[in-house]
Structure 1
Amino acid sequence: MPVRVAESSAPSQVSGTNSGHTSSPAYTLLSVGQAFSGTQNVSSLQKEEAWRVNVRIQGCDLEHGYLCGTMEALNVPMADTPVVTFWEGEIVDTKNYTFYTGKWEASPEDDKRHWTKFPSFTPLLSQVENDGGKSLDLSNYPYIFMRWKEQYFVNVGTDCGLTIAGFYYVCFSCSDGSINGFYYDPNSRYLYFFLVFYIFVN
């Protein structure tokens, strides 16, 4: 989260149950109530920072490729209290969402630049370049790709010094339940500012 204030959007409805098709063991780890914890690392030309992060899934609709939850950042240098945000996610299932974002000021080049940071994406690159990955069958792929977009601050105001202007490119490992993510903020691309976090199942 670079130090730049951005407008937050209004709260969205949160579903309390899973809906859609029957969950596989991997998707069970993304079910409502599942908690993750780990570290968020911030790197730029000026500084290196890291703080602890807790994530909890609050809603999941696999049929529509949707999930949502909260993210709690602890020990943030510029904040006097843990910062909690509500986020909504898109599951790249090639039916509801593809690897191309098509919004949030992310170009296809931005998408490829961030997805290719994940080694697990490499086998899919040529097909994504061909048709956005629409012809891929990811139902049995050992990784689940998502985008997480923070929508609003839960416990602090927009003057807290942090921004939610960007979004996360996320890769979930079905084998060990770990989550890796890279943050993209269109306002910070020229500062070479990015976030990466590693969250593991409790």
Structure 2
Amino acid sequence: MSPKQQRGAATVERALAAALSVYAREGEQGLTVGAITRAGALSPGSLYHHFGNLDGLVHALVQRWLERLLAPLATALLEADSARDGVRAAVRAYLGFVREQPDAARLLHSATADRHGMAHARELRDAQEARLSPLAAWLQHHVATGELAALSPSLLESLILGPVVATARRHLTLGDTDLDEAARELPDRIWAAVRG
């Protein structure tokens, strides 16, 4: 990587870190070009150069943290010895991400990310295709072996992750949900809903 490319990569990193920091402190309403450039010691021109506009920056930020959520979740699922162990591992990996990265989790479970996801659903899915295809294949394999219920991968994904996402949102917004309790209770209750 040339020095110019290194400087560009460092600028992108600073911008993304600043955007998450601003979002964590001030929420969606505080997520402005001015706030981000001040927090990251960036020029507005560099932000526009690398991201095009504020929506482009939000897109890159959501993509980054979605990848960082999906990577350990996929690893946990794919390394499991059985479908049941995979469901348990995936639930615990997701909740572990929420515990370890609360600011990023708040962003990913926010109305900002929901609107962005609705507007860019296909693009987000395509960008994560390399990560999602093995997960769909894992689901299909375990349906074929009879370990998982004979449902479509999208419905199985909803049954497995839906309760986890709802628990994460409640924990992040209301703070009345214990992640340790969720990690103990949800895996077997979800397994009961999806087992073959």
TM-score normalised by L of structure 2: 0.23
Query: Higher Cα Rg: structure 1 or 2?
Result: 2
Alignment TM-score, normalising by the size of structure 1: 0.23
Which one has the bigger strand percentage?
1
